[in-house]
Every structure is written in C-alpha cells, then in structure tokens.
Structure 1
Amino acid sequence: MLIQLQPGLAPAAKAAIISRIEGLKYKVTEVKTQRAHYLVGIGKADIDLRAVGQLPGVQDIHRVSDEYKLVSRKWRVRPTVLDLGDGVRIGEGDFTIVAGPCSIESEAQMNTVLDHLTENNVRLMRGGVFKPRSSPYSFRGMGMEGLRLFHQLARARGVKIVTEVMQVSQVEEMHDYVDVFQVGARNTQNFNLLDALGGVDKPVLIKRGISGTVEELLSSAEYVFSGGNEKLALCERGIRTFETASRNTLDLNAVPILKEKTHLPVLVDPSHGIGIRDYVPDMALAAVLAGADGILYETHEQPEKAASDGAQTLNFEESGRLIRNLRRVYELRQTLE
C-alpha cells in the first residue's frame, strides 16, 4: 500500500499510523520528498484499506501491487510534469526536444550548437562532459572545467543543460551547473548513484540499461524517488539484442507500456537507439507517434569530425529538418488523441 500523509503531521500522529500498519503485518518505509510525505507498506495480507485510510493524518491511501510503488500510475493518475524554470517543461502537454553533441569538445563547438538550437527555439541541450567509453583511449570529456563553461554559455542563451553524471563523487560538484542530471545506460543499476540522486533537488533523467527490462528501468526510478527526489523522467535508448544491422534495437514497444505503467515523463533517444545517422529521423518521428513526451538526439556541425558517436549524429541541416518535422508530427498526434 501507499499512504500519503497530511502536510505538517505531528510526530505522534505519524507514529500512530505506522504502528497501525505494522500491526497489520506490513513493513513500513517512510519517504519524504520535495513535494510530499509518504509511507510505503509492504506485506502479503489482504486488508481493508479503510482500516488505515480513516486514521487521523492520512491524506490518501492506495493499493499498489507493483514492486515500483512510488513511480506507478496506479496511485498517481495525473502525469508528472517537470518544470525547469523559464518556461521549460518536460512531460505530457509539452513536447520536449533535447539536442546536442555526444561530447562537449570545446568552447567553439558549444557556441555553434547553441546558435543552432536557439535559431530553432530548442531550449534543452544535451552534451557529455564525463563520457563512459568502451576504450580507455577514446576521448572521455572535458570534465568540470568543460561543464562550468557549458553552463555559462548555455545560461547566456536561455538554454538548459542535460548532462551525464557517472559516479557519486560527481553529484555535489556538478549540482550548481546542471539543470537535469542524466543517468546513462551503463549506470542505470548503479544503486549508490541512484541513492545519491535521491538526495538532490534537481530533475534526473534515467536511461534504460543496455540489456535492461522495462521493469528494471522503473525500479531504478523507484530508487531515486524513494530517496526523496520526485523530479524524474525516463528514456528509452535502445537495448542490446541479437540484431547486428543497427547499433541497438530501439524498443518503441516500451513507450506506450511505460506511459501506462508510470506517471513519469517518457523520452526516446533514437541516436543511441539505432546508431545510424540516416535512420535517426525516421525513428524519432515514430517515437512521437508511439506517445513519447520528448526526443533526445545528437547533433554536431560536422559529425564526421565529432570526438564520439559521429556515425549516429545529425548535421545542422538534418537536425533543423528533424525539429520542424517533430513538431508537425506532434501536432498531428494531438489531433488523433
């Protein structure tokens, strides 16, 4: 069960509720977030929710059978919308485009990408300053020096930043320079990192693991929510299968499934999902029709010279065309709903 407590509840009243739940042979976990105070009850007994719901101090109570209780749509039917400030939002009712290079490489590169995004009214820029690479000899990002410069240049243009955090020790030093922390596919089950991000008051975008299931992605989000951070979004980015014709297999099945299972925003990354530049726009448009709340893709002025992932990165002409088509297809989707 999931219990939402009334704001400002006295400790004695909370203790009485917990005692009542434990008396029903349920284990109770207390969760306090930026927005509310919850009790998560885990047990096997079939109980009458009114036995708890009528207690003083209980604002709401729900029966949630999913393992991922806090991110489940079974109790919160109204979808979560992340407000990043300055009119930038992620969630249902606002179609979000996030674009930028795989890696932040230089001040000149950041400025050219920012010019491209602002010309196309895109308010969120992706770009890695810490890059997990398969080879230790590949370019691994500009680190904190690059992030501080990235933040300065983006702020001057009114653009928000989405960038990947790779380990617990980076969370605090990155905090003031990031608008959305991204958890990459290789860290989706780095539970120490997820716990740390539960303690920050910044949005977190969690990518699906390379071989992860939908349930595992939702469980990763549950870690962050249960740690105190409700500001969450999910990203389908393709999974590793037996298919070799593309870098990964972009699982668009996951989009409507996630939209049914969770109240969190769902984005899609077709760049990593298919890994082939020519096919990225088609998969991005398909993701919109599948119900995605936003698209996250890679763009660079000269993809063939990109420090990483050039084969899946759109040039600015291709990117501009995709932005226009994404908005057209989103408008079409609204007429079909």
Structure 2
Amino acid sequence: MGSPFGIPVYVSPTWFLVAAFITFGFEPLVRGQLDMTPPGTYVVAFVFAVLLYVSVLLHELAHCVVARMYGLPVRRVTLYMLGGVSEIEREPETPGREFLVAFAGPALSLGLALIGFVADIWFIPDNTVVGVLTFQLWAANLVVGVFNMLPGLPLDGGRMLRAGIWKLTRDPGSGTIAAAWVGRGLAVLLVALPVLMSLMTGQSLGWVFMVWAVILASFIWLGATQSLRTARVRARIPHIQARTLARRAIPVTADVPLSEAIRRAVESGAGAFVVVDHEGRPIAIVNETAVNLTPEQRRPWVTVGSLARTLEPELVLSADLGGENLLEAMQHTPAGEYLLVERGGEIFGVLSTSDVNHAFKGV
C-alpha cells in the first residue's frame, strides 16, 4: 500500500473481513447518534473502520521507526484481521532498547487517544459525523493502547516485561519464557473471566463478545507458544557448531560416475562429495537431494559433475563457525550444502543444511 519512512506496508485480505464486520457492527450506533439513514450510515461506519486501521498502522510504524533508530532492519508492516504486525528482522541488543521499541506502539496509541479526547471535549460538536468518529477513534485507541500494555507475549507489554526480566537476570531467554507463560495466563483469563462474570450475574455477554474473546485468546496463546519455541531454539543456537555437524567428504573429479563415487564414499565412510579439478582444487559441491533422487539403475551413467553446484565464494565457510555467525552465513546464501575449510584453506568436510535443521528437531 506504500512505504512510509521507507517501510513497505501490506494489507492482508483478512482485513476486508474485519472491515465489513466493523462496518455492519458500528452502523446501528451511527444511525442512533446522527440524523442520517442508510446508505450514509454505512459510509460513516466504513470510514471509522479505515481510520481505526490507520491508527493501527501508526502504532506499528512507531515500533519500526524506533527500531530503525537503533539500526535494526525492518522488513515490512502487515495489517490483518486482528491488527498489525511489524517484521523487525533482528532483536534489540539491550533490554533498554527492547523496552523502548516495544513501548513506542502503545505510547503512540495512547497519545492519539489523548489528542482525540481533548479535541472531542473542547473543539468538536456532538452529534456530528466528525464528533462521532472522533469519540469512537479516541476510545478505540485507548483500548488498543491499554490492551497492548498487558504484560504477556506476544503483546507489547509482554516484550516490556521480557526486557525487565532480561535486565534483572541478564538472560533474554529467561525473560522470553517468563513473559510467554504470563501471555498464556492472559489468554486463559480472556475466556474464563467473561464466562465467570456471566455465571455470577446471570446475564449473557452476547455471542459476538465471546467470539472476539476466544479469537483474541487464541491469538495470544499461539503467540506465546511460538515465543516459547523461539526461546528454546535460541538456547540451542550457541551449541550449533559447523565442525561437529560436518560430514567427511571425498574429492572426486566431475567425470566420475555417481555409482563409483558412492562406492568410494561407502568404503571410506564419507557422507558427501566435493568435485575437484585435476589439480585437486575444489570447484563444486554435489547436491545430496539430487543424488537421492537419481534412480539406482541410472547412477552408473550419471556423472557427479551433473549433480553439482558451482562452488561460489559464499558456499565456502570456515569450519570454526558456530552459533549466530554460522546461521547468518547460511541465511546469506541459502544452499543444501556448504564446503567447510580450515584456516589454511584445507578441506575439512561438507556441512549439510539438513543436518543443521535436524539439530533443532524436537525444539
């Protein structure tokens, strides 16, 4: 939809569903407060839906602008059924920065609510289109700001809680786990409290209210669960070392039949092939998936060179890489296999992406 501040903004098709829901849900209120009949009341209700999501966009852009101030790359902002999401590609380096990036969104929403409140009270007459829209918008921004301040992931308040625990324990993983479990608790309360209130008072809160409560609770529960998984993955990252995951590789020339290369690998206990020139210098790396997809009866007639990828500089990694540095190097140039070399340039082995993925299995 555009790139304010250089940040691409996308709108999910689900937004149109919630826009229709807001339009039809808000229309009776417009009809009751204004001397207006359909279709005019529906137009005003739709304008409210659009302006509400403009407020959500500003909320997300606040996160992104502060993140960019700290040098964090921002991929995009997406508006969807339950609001918006900012895709910030890297986490802040300190708990203080994490807190400020998270707080920027609710702060802007509450600021919009305050501006709208002052304008509604002092400057805008009641029972007008502008008056009705202003009142509903400042009230909605107040709800958005307060709701996002709730201290549980994936809400902004959860990230602020995570930053606080990170500051106290000096461990971002502990902060993530604690804030995620609080988020799960909030999800349960969002459904349990309305049900308990209905049972205690004997008054039904309405099916629309309960549907939204369940939807929001599901969103928070799933987000908190994903945060827990992310924390477990991050805890394992420092233990991922290229040297320990590497496969022993045998050098073969490009004209060697695949069946012969496999025979040599089995005899020597190797798990990968590296194509070398006649002087023994590596020039390509054989793709494991291509090898496995080649029928056994064709392997004597297929050369390893035809199944290899030219060894670009980005596919040659140091055998000493590990943790975040290893994953960043692999992310920079996605491939099935990488050649690992020692500091002197000697071949150490081959690192398979599938082996790295397997190291995270079960997380």
Under a length normalisation based on structure 2, what TM-score does the superposition of the two structures give? 0.29
Structure with more of its chain in helix, by fraction: 2
Under a length normalisation based on structure 1, what TM-score does the superposition of the two structures give? 0.30
Structure with more of its chain in strand, by fraction: 1
> Larger relative CO (CA 8 A, sep 6+): 1 or 2?
1
